[in-house]
Protein backbone atom coordinates (compact mmCIF):
# COMPACT_ATOMS: atom_id res chain seq x y z
CA UNK A 1 0.00 0.00 0.00
CA UNK A 2 1.09 3.55 -0.65
CA UNK A 3 0.00 5.90 2.05
CA UNK A 4 0.88 9.03 3.97
CA UNK A 5 -0.22 9.46 7.56
CA UNK A 6 -0.26 12.75 9.40
CA UNK A 7 -1.65 11.67 12.73
CA UNK A 8 -1.84 15.17 14.20
CA UNK A 9 -5.04 16.76 13.02
CA UNK A 10 -4.43 20.03 14.81
CA UNK A 11 -1.63 21.48 16.90
CA UNK A 12 -1.82 24.67 18.89
CA UNK A 13 1.22 26.31 20.46
CA UNK A 14 2.18 29.70 21.77
CA UNK A 15 4.43 31.88 19.68
CA UNK A 16 8.17 31.20 19.99
CA UNK A 17 7.65 27.58 20.94
CA UNK A 18 9.17 24.85 18.79
CA UNK A 19 6.74 22.49 17.10
CA UNK A 20 7.17 19.25 15.17
CA UNK A 21 4.72 17.98 12.58
CA UNK A 22 4.85 14.25 12.02
CA UNK A 23 4.64 12.44 8.70
CA UNK A 24 4.81 8.67 8.26
CA UNK A 25 4.67 7.10 4.84
CA UNK A 26 4.28 3.67 3.28
CA UNK A 27 5.52 2.68 -0.15
CA UNK A 28 6.74 -0.42 -1.89
CA UNK A 29 9.07 1.60 -4.09
CA UNK A 30 12.74 1.97 -3.31
CA UNK A 31 12.90 5.27 -5.13
CA UNK A 32 10.46 7.97 -4.18
CA UNK A 33 10.14 11.62 -3.29
CA UNK A 34 8.68 13.25 -0.22
CA UNK A 35 7.29 16.75 -0.03
CA UNK A 36 5.97 19.27 2.43
CA UNK A 37 3.53 21.98 1.41
CA UNK A 38 2.08 24.84 3.43
CA UNK A 39 -1.49 26.03 2.89
CA UNK A 40 -2.20 29.34 4.63
CA UNK A 41 -5.77 30.59 5.03
CA UNK A 42 -5.60 32.17 1.58
CA UNK A 43 -5.65 28.65 0.15
CA UNK A 44 -2.58 28.62 -2.04
CA UNK A 45 -0.29 25.63 -1.57
CA UNK A 46 3.28 26.70 -1.05
CA UNK A 47 6.06 24.24 -1.78
CA UNK A 48 8.47 23.92 1.15
CA UNK A 49 10.76 21.00 0.46
CA UNK A 50 11.39 17.96 -1.71
CA UNK A 51 13.46 15.02 -0.53
CA UNK A 52 14.71 12.13 -2.65
CA UNK A 53 14.61 8.72 -0.98
CA UNK A 54 18.33 8.29 -1.47
CA UNK A 55 19.17 11.47 0.35
CA UNK A 56 18.73 11.03 4.07
CA UNK A 57 20.52 14.19 5.04
CA UNK A 58 18.48 16.38 7.25
CA UNK A 59 17.84 19.85 5.98
CA UNK A 60 17.57 23.19 7.66
CA UNK A 61 16.16 26.33 6.12
CA UNK A 62 16.00 29.19 8.55
CA UNK A 63 13.55 28.23 11.28
CA UNK A 64 12.43 25.17 9.36
CA UNK A 65 14.10 21.79 9.55
CA UNK A 66 13.24 18.35 8.27
CA UNK A 67 14.22 14.96 9.67
CA UNK A 68 14.06 12.15 7.13
CA UNK A 69 14.46 8.64 8.55
CA UNK A 70 13.99 5.72 6.21
CA UNK A 71 14.29 3.24 9.05
CA UNK A 72 11.03 4.52 10.51
CA UNK A 73 9.53 5.76 7.22
CA UNK A 74 9.17 9.21 8.65
CA UNK A 75 9.73 12.69 7.33
CA UNK A 76 9.05 15.07 10.18
CA UNK A 77 8.99 18.83 9.99
CA UNK A 78 10.09 21.11 12.83
CA UNK A 79 9.50 24.81 13.14
CA UNK A 80 11.77 26.51 15.62
CA UNK A 81 10.69 29.65 17.44
CA UNK A 82 7.27 29.57 15.81
CA UNK A 83 5.58 32.75 14.65
CA UNK A 84 1.96 33.65 14.08
CA UNK A 85 2.62 33.70 10.32
CA UNK A 86 3.41 30.00 10.52
CA UNK A 87 -0.26 29.32 11.19
CA UNK A 88 -1.48 27.18 8.29
CA UNK A 89 -2.35 23.67 7.27
CA UNK A 90 0.73 21.65 6.41
CA UNK A 91 0.58 18.70 4.05
CA UNK A 92 3.08 15.92 3.63
CA UNK A 93 3.02 14.09 0.29
CA UNK A 94 4.67 11.10 -1.34
CA UNK A 95 5.55 10.58 -4.99
CA UNK A 96 6.38 6.94 -5.73
CA UNK A 97 8.91 6.83 -8.53
CA UNK A 98 7.17 4.06 -10.38
CA UNK A 99 4.10 6.20 -10.81
CA UNK A 100 4.55 7.48 -14.32
CA UNK A 101 1.62 9.84 -13.88
CA UNK A 102 3.51 11.77 -11.20
CA UNK A 103 0.48 11.70 -8.92
CA UNK A 104 1.12 12.70 -5.34
CA UNK A 105 -0.22 10.73 -2.42
CA UNK A 106 -1.33 13.20 0.20
CA UNK A 107 -1.55 13.12 3.94
CA UNK A 108 -4.65 14.49 5.61
CA UNK A 109 -2.83 17.61 6.70
CA UNK A 110 -2.03 19.10 10.09
CA UNK A 111 -3.56 22.40 11.07
CA UNK A 112 -1.03 24.45 12.99
CA UNK A 113 -2.25 27.31 15.14
CA UNK A 114 0.31 29.69 16.56
CA UNK A 115 -1.12 31.87 19.30
CA UNK A 116 0.42 35.27 20.00
CA UNK B 1 10.57 28.82 -7.78
CA UNK B 2 8.13 28.08 -10.56
CA UNK B 3 5.01 30.21 -10.70
CA UNK B 4 1.52 29.02 -11.54
CA UNK B 5 -1.41 31.36 -11.91
CA UNK B 6 -5.07 30.53 -11.79
CA UNK B 7 -8.01 32.61 -12.89
CA UNK B 8 -10.52 33.52 -11.66
CA UNK B 9 -9.73 33.40 -7.97
CA UNK B 10 -13.38 33.47 -7.05
CA UNK B 11 -16.56 32.96 -9.03
CA UNK B 12 -20.24 32.92 -8.19
CA UNK B 13 -22.62 31.55 -10.77
CA UNK B 14 -26.18 30.42 -11.16
CA UNK B 15 -27.10 26.78 -11.26
CA UNK B 16 -27.03 25.42 -14.79
CA UNK B 17 -24.34 27.70 -16.12
CA UNK B 18 -20.82 26.68 -17.10
CA UNK B 19 -17.67 28.04 -15.54
CA UNK B 20 -14.18 27.98 -17.01
CA UNK B 21 -11.09 28.08 -14.83
CA UNK B 22 -7.67 28.76 -16.34
CA UNK B 23 -4.36 27.51 -15.05
CA UNK B 24 -1.11 28.90 -16.44
CA UNK B 25 2.51 28.11 -15.78
CA UNK B 26 4.19 31.49 -16.04
CA UNK B 27 7.88 30.76 -16.12
CA UNK B 28 8.16 27.16 -17.21
CA UNK B 29 6.60 24.74 -19.64
CA UNK B 30 4.34 22.30 -17.86
CA UNK B 31 4.29 18.89 -19.47
CA UNK B 32 1.76 17.73 -16.89
CA UNK B 33 -0.98 19.64 -15.13
CA UNK B 34 -3.24 18.40 -12.37
CA UNK B 35 -6.64 19.51 -11.20
CA UNK B 36 -7.65 19.05 -7.60
CA UNK B 37 -10.74 19.70 -5.60
CA UNK B 38 -10.58 20.48 -1.92
CA UNK B 39 -13.50 20.33 0.48
CA UNK B 40 -13.41 22.37 3.68
CA UNK B 41 -10.90 21.06 6.19
CA UNK B 42 -9.97 18.18 3.92
CA UNK B 43 -6.97 17.14 1.97
CA UNK B 44 -6.65 17.53 -1.78
CA UNK B 45 -8.61 15.21 -4.01
CA UNK B 46 -7.10 14.65 -7.43
CA UNK B 47 -9.68 15.03 -10.17
CA UNK B 48 -7.62 14.54 -13.29
CA UNK B 49 -4.17 14.57 -14.81
CA UNK B 50 -3.58 16.20 -18.14
CA UNK B 51 -0.60 15.99 -20.42
CA UNK B 52 -0.13 18.58 -23.11
CA UNK B 53 -1.74 17.60 -26.38
CA UNK B 54 -3.51 14.52 -25.07
CA UNK B 55 -6.76 13.74 -23.33
CA UNK B 56 -6.96 14.11 -19.60
CA UNK B 57 -6.96 11.06 -17.37
CA UNK B 58 -9.79 11.29 -14.86
CA UNK B 59 -9.84 9.75 -11.44
CA UNK B 60 -12.50 7.25 -10.56
CA UNK B 61 -15.77 8.91 -9.74
CA UNK B 62 -15.02 12.15 -11.58
CA UNK B 63 -17.40 12.79 -14.47
CA UNK B 64 -15.39 13.72 -17.52
CA UNK B 65 -18.43 15.20 -19.27
CA UNK B 66 -19.06 17.48 -16.34
CA UNK B 67 -15.49 18.55 -15.71
CA UNK B 68 -13.97 19.24 -19.10
CA UNK B 69 -10.22 19.60 -19.12
CA UNK B 70 -8.21 20.97 -21.99
CA UNK B 71 -4.42 21.16 -21.91
CA UNK B 72 -3.96 23.03 -25.16
CA UNK B 73 -0.41 24.22 -24.68
CA UNK B 74 2.58 23.73 -22.44
CA UNK B 75 1.58 26.70 -20.35
CA UNK B 76 -2.21 26.53 -20.22
CA UNK B 77 -4.80 24.10 -18.97
CA UNK B 78 -8.47 24.85 -18.48
CA UNK B 79 -11.15 23.21 -16.38
CA UNK B 80 -14.75 23.83 -17.38
CA UNK B 81 -17.46 22.92 -14.93
CA UNK B 82 -20.46 22.34 -17.16
CA UNK B 83 -24.04 22.83 -16.02
CA UNK B 84 -22.86 23.64 -12.54
CA UNK B 85 -24.98 22.71 -9.53
CA UNK B 86 -24.68 23.76 -5.89
CA UNK B 87 -22.89 20.52 -5.05
CA UNK B 88 -20.09 21.58 -7.40
CA UNK B 89 -19.30 24.47 -5.08
CA UNK B 90 -15.78 23.92 -3.87
CA UNK B 91 -12.17 25.07 -3.97
CA UNK B 92 -10.47 24.01 -7.18
CA UNK B 93 -6.69 24.03 -7.40
CA UNK B 94 -4.41 23.33 -10.30
CA UNK B 95 -0.79 22.36 -10.26
CA UNK B 96 1.90 21.93 -12.86
CA UNK B 97 5.11 20.05 -13.21
CA UNK B 98 7.82 19.47 -15.74
CA UNK B 99 11.08 17.56 -15.90
CA UNK B 100 12.71 20.87 -15.12
CA UNK B 101 10.89 21.15 -11.79
CA UNK B 102 12.46 17.93 -10.53
CA UNK B 103 9.25 16.07 -9.85
CA UNK B 104 7.83 18.96 -7.88
CA UNK B 105 4.29 20.14 -8.47
CA UNK B 106 3.78 23.88 -8.19
CA UNK B 107 0.31 25.07 -7.35
CA UNK B 108 -1.91 27.88 -8.47
CA UNK B 109 -3.68 30.03 -5.87
CA UNK B 110 -6.95 28.19 -6.33
CA UNK B 111 -10.47 29.12 -7.41
CA UNK B 112 -13.39 29.28 -5.04
CA UNK B 113 -16.55 28.35 -6.90
CA UNK B 114 -19.97 29.04 -5.44
CA UNK B 115 -22.97 27.83 -7.37
CA UNK B 116 -26.27 29.36 -6.31
Question: Which residues of B fall within a CB distance of 8 Å from A101?
Answer: 32, 49, 57
Q: Indicate whether B55 pLDDT > 90.
A: no
Beta-ladder partners of B22: B7, B78
- Tell me if A106 and B91 make a contact (CB, 8 A cut-off): no
- Rounded Cα distance, A51 and A29, in Å: 15
Give the pLDDT band (50/70/90) at residue B100: confident
Give the pLDDT confidence score for residue B18 in this predicted structure.
97
Compute the residue count for chain B.
116
> Which residue, B43, B55, B48, B60, is CA-closest to B21?
B48
- Rounded Cα distance, B20 and B71, in Å: 13
- Rounded Cα distance, A36 and A78, in Å: 11
Beta-ladder partners of A10: A111
C-beta neighbour count of A104 within 10 angstroms: 23
Which of B103, B106, B110 lies closest to A95 in CB terms? B103
Whole-number average pLDDT of chain B: 93
- Tell me if B93 and A91 make a contact (CB, 8 A cut-off): no
A:B CB pairs within 8 Å:
51
> Which residue, A96, A42, A90, is CA-closest to A64?
A90
* Percent of chain B whose predicted confidence (pLDDT) is above 70: 99
Where do the DSSP E strands lie in A8-84?
10-14, 19-21, 24-26, 32-39, 46-52, 59-61, 64-69, 74-79
Give the pLDDT confidence score for residue A99 in this predicted structure.
64
Give the pLDDT confidence score for residue B102 in this predicted structure.
72
Give the pLDDT confidence score for residue B66 in this predicted structure.
96
Q: Which of A11-20, B65-74, B100-109 has the lowest mean pLDDT?
A: B100-109
- Tell me if B110 and A44 make a contact (CB, 8 A cut-off): yes
Rg (chain A; Cα; Å): 14
Q: How far is CA B96 from the centre of its chain?
A: 10
Residue stretches of chain A with pLDDT short of 50: none
Amino acid sequence: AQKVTQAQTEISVVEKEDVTLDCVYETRDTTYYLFWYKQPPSGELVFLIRRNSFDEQNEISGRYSWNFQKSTSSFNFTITASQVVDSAVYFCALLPRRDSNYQLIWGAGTKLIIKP
Amino acid sequence: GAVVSQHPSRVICKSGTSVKIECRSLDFQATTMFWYRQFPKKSLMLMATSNEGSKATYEQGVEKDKFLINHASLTLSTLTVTSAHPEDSSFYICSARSPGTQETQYFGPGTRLLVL
